[in-house]
Structures are given as C-alpha cells and as structure tokens.
Structure 1
Amino acid sequence: MRPALCTLRGGGVLALLALVVQLAGCALPAREEPGALRAEVVARLGPPTATVPLSSGERLLYSELPAGFAAYTLDFDASGRLVRNEQVLTQTRFENIPVGVWTAADVQRTFGPPLRVERVARFEGDIWTYRFRQNSDPRLAHVHLDPQGVVRLVMFTDELPNFDNTRD
C-alpha cells in the first residue's frame, strides 16, 4: 500500500504543499510583540474570541478552545498599542484565582469562555472546565461557581485520552 501523498497527482501535491506553507506562516497570538497596533494585530489574527474593556485600554482574547490548549490575552493601551501579551491557560494562573472573591465575570475576562459548563450532584452551581497543558501533559481546570456566580473551588484533573471536548 502506498502512502496517501503518493496517490496525489500533479496539482494535488502542489495544493498540499501550498497548504502546508500557508499553515506554517499562520499568524499566532504568541508572536505579537509589544508596541504593535491593535488594527494591525486584528488584521493578522482575525476577530478575537472576546473583547474586554480595561481601565487603561482594551483586552483582546484569542482562545484555542475547544480543540487547543492555550488562550492569549493581548492588552492594548488607550492609544491602541500592545502593552502585554500573555498565554493565560496555565496551572499557575488557575491556582491564583482568588476563591471567594472572583466572580464568573472575572474568570471569563481572564480566561475566556470555558470549554464546557457542567453540573454535579455534590456541588450546587456551575463548573466551568478549561483545558491546558502542564509541561506536555494535557490537564483540565475545573472552576466551581456557586449560584451567585462566585468562585468557590478550583480543581485539577488529568485529561483522559478520549475526552470529548465537543459535548454540550
């Protein structure tokens, strides 16, 4: 049996190579440098997952969820210049959520929309789940929000190999 690439003819191979080159040159939020103009960043990256007003300007959030493991917050000053670019889906960031203080709005402003929202019998409220990587290991952060929307607990689990990230 021949590899699939060998079965492509002429233009098919060229099209595949063009696609690979295009994907390799894709704009990534991690590559955006301080000083970049907001309009130029949006032109390169496309529309953000979320836009959050800040007292000093604006935050654009680019999330790779549900399939990926990263979310980037790009903070712009009042003149529209990038001042900070941070990948926020990290164990450390989740561990530092102020339990009993932060609300659902704080969580969403920082991490973006969750991978999924679930409920369990032992907790009254929603559990927002985010996926991330710790070193190279896929992990899940579970942010427990009480009925008033206040964070009550943050737990971590390893992501199972067949985790269904498309379920509603």
Structure 2
Amino acid sequence: MQWPAHALWSLLAALTALVLLAGCAAGPSSLAAGTPRKAVLAQLGTPFTATPLAGGGERLVYSTGPMGFYVYHVDLDGSGRVARTEQVMTFERLAGIPINQWTAVDVRANFGPPMRIDRVYSFDGDVWTYRFIADINLRRLAHVHIDPAGVVRRVMFTDELLSDDDRSF
C-alpha cells in the first residue's frame, strides 16, 4: 500500500511537532522545585557557569548562546535542590544591568557568551551583542558597551533585521 503524499507530509509535521515539544519539556523551565542538583545535571548537562549564592545556594546558568535567544538561571538552595528557574534574556533584565558597576565578568556570568564582540568608532572598548525575543516574537539585540577596564558603561537596543525584512533604513 502506498500512502498519499499529503498524508506523509502530515505525519512528518506531526512527528516534528512532537520532537520539538519533547525538547521543550526537557528544558530548564520543566524543572520542578525541589529537584536535586544531580538530577538537574543529568537532565540538562554541564551548565555554562555555576556561581555561589548567598545562604549557601548556587546558580547554574544554561545558555542557548551565542546564537540563541534564551538564558536560564537555575537557582539551587543550600541543600542543593532547585529553588527557582528563570529565563533571564529579557529586555527588563538586560536594561537593568547596573551601569558603571557591573563588569564583563558579571555580564558573562549572568547572560553567558555574547553573540559577537565588536568595536565602534564612538566608544573606546568592546561592544558585546546579545540576541533576545521581546514582546511577541520581536527579535532584538542588546549591545553592552564594556570599557578597556572591563566596566559596563552603557546598554543600547536595536531590532534584529532579518534577510527577508523589507524595511529599508
């Protein structure tokens, strides 16, 4: 028996959707409070970075960067169990970077690796660029300006233009 082409495409689409949903179900946002550290590592693998928190806890940072749009903080309590999980690559979190206080180390520890590092004529230092999704699927870029001493001096935002974007500037 031969299947009609439209039935095969429908089956392929359904299987693809299942695989994508399974991937979402296994991500950091699926972790239940109280999950032990060992189970987190078994499910998600080695974090990009791990830093101590006040009270004996630990923050595990999982990044889909440098080209991804999401960074998750998995905060463990003093007993090594998940206290909370948060997706932090948001406009609010990026706009809230403390200017003249945070360093490149803080930025990397909180947001993972940048998509790219550039230099511009109007600033003496590096510009770290991060991708994120704002509002309803609007792709944005955050440009974190870090001076030669490693201190954040400004954060600017632009839209990420896609190759099929018909806006002209």
TM-score range, shorter chain: 0.7 to 0.9
CA displacement at 1:162 relative to structure 2: 3.3
2-structure distance, mates of 1:113, 1:53: 19
TM-score scaled by structure 1? 0.81
Structure 1 residues 4 and 140: alpha-carbon distance in aligned structure 2, compared to 1, 3 A threshold = farther
Match in the other structure for 2:167: none
- State the match for 2:21 in structure 1: 24
TM-score (norm 2): 0.81
Gaps of at least 5 residues in structure 1 are 8-12, 164-168
Tell me if the contact between 2:65 and 2:112 (Cα under 8 Å) persists in the aligned partners: no
Q: Which residue of 2 aligns with 1:157?
A: 158
Aligned residues with identical type, % of pairs: 49
- The alignment status of 1:35 with 2:34, answered yes or no, reads yes
1:32-60 superposed Cα distances (whole Å, 9 cap, x missing partner) = 12211111111111222222233432211
Question: CA-to-partner distance for each residue in 1:1-45, whole Å, 9 max, x for gaps?
Answer: x969849xxxxx79x94x654443221111112211111111111
Amino acid at match of 1:45: L
Question: What is residue 128 of structure 2 aligned with on the other side?
Answer: 128
RMSD of Structure 2 on Structure 1 (CA):
2.4
Which residue matches 1:73?
Answer: 73
1:166 aligns to what? none
Corresponding residue pairs, total? 155
Q: Which runs of 4+ in 1 moved over 3 A?
A: 2-7, 19-23
User: Tell me, what secondary structure is at the counterpart of 1:25?
Assistant: helix
For residues 52 and 162 of structure 1, the distance between their equivalents in structure 2, rounded to whole angstroms, comes to 38
Counterpart amino acid of residue 24 in structure 1: L
Q: CA, structure 1 residues 4+160, in 2 after alignment: closer, same or farther (shift >3 Å)?
A: farther
Does 2:140 align with 1:139? yes
5+ residue gaps in structure 2?
165-169
Letter in 2 for 1:30: S
Distance 1:70 1:88 in 2: 7
Task: Tell me the SS of whatever aligns to 1:118.
Answer: strand
